[in-house]
């Protein structure tokens, strides 16, 4: 008797702030990679399906994206797009970091 099947793995690659296509809210989105592997006797041998998607943390809407777009989003997250790593919102004008005097220039 030969026992074979599949097993799915879900990897969270990044968290980005984007406008959701489902709900229209600017919210955090997780960039996910879903890999399905062939198993033989419960041992994963090789991947036969890899899919990428973004999921809105506000409404839960998920959108499948091609690998090229996922790589581009991952590069933006790694570069910190405008110095804001992991999708943090840009600071408001006049923002003063803690420990600095707002009246000194």
Distance CA 69, CA 65 (A): 6
Which pLDDT tens digit goes with each residue over 44-73?
999 999 999 999 999 999 999 999 999 999
pLDDT for 53: 95
What is the residue-level pLDDT of the chain in tens, covering all 105 positions?
889 999 999 999 999 999 988 888 899 999 999 999 999 999 999 999 999 999 999 999 999 999 999 999 999 888 875 444 444 555 545 555 565 555 655
- Strand (E) or helix (H) holding 99: none
Structure tokens at 1: 């008797």
Residues 45 and 37 sit within 8 Å (Cβ to Cβ): yes
pTM of the model: 0.70
DSSP assigned state of 2 = -
The answer to whether the CB of 52 falls within 8 A of the CB of 16 is no
- Give the start-to-end residue ranges of the domains of the chain: 11-82
CATH class of 11-82: mainly beta
């Amino acid at each position: 008797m030969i026992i074979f099947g599949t097993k799915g793995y879900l990897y969270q690659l990044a968290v980005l702030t984007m406008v959701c296509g489902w709900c229209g809210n600017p919210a955090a989105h997780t960039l996910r990679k879903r890999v399905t592997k062939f198993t033989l006797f419960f041992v994963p041998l090789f991947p036969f399906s890899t899919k990428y998607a973004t999921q809105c943390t506000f409404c839960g809407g998920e959108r499948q994206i091609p690998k090229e777009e996922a790589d581009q989003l991952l590069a933006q997250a790694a570069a910190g797009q405008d110095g804001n790593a992991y999708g943090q919102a840009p600071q408001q004008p006049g923002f003063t970091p803690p420990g600095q005097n707002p009246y000194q220039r």
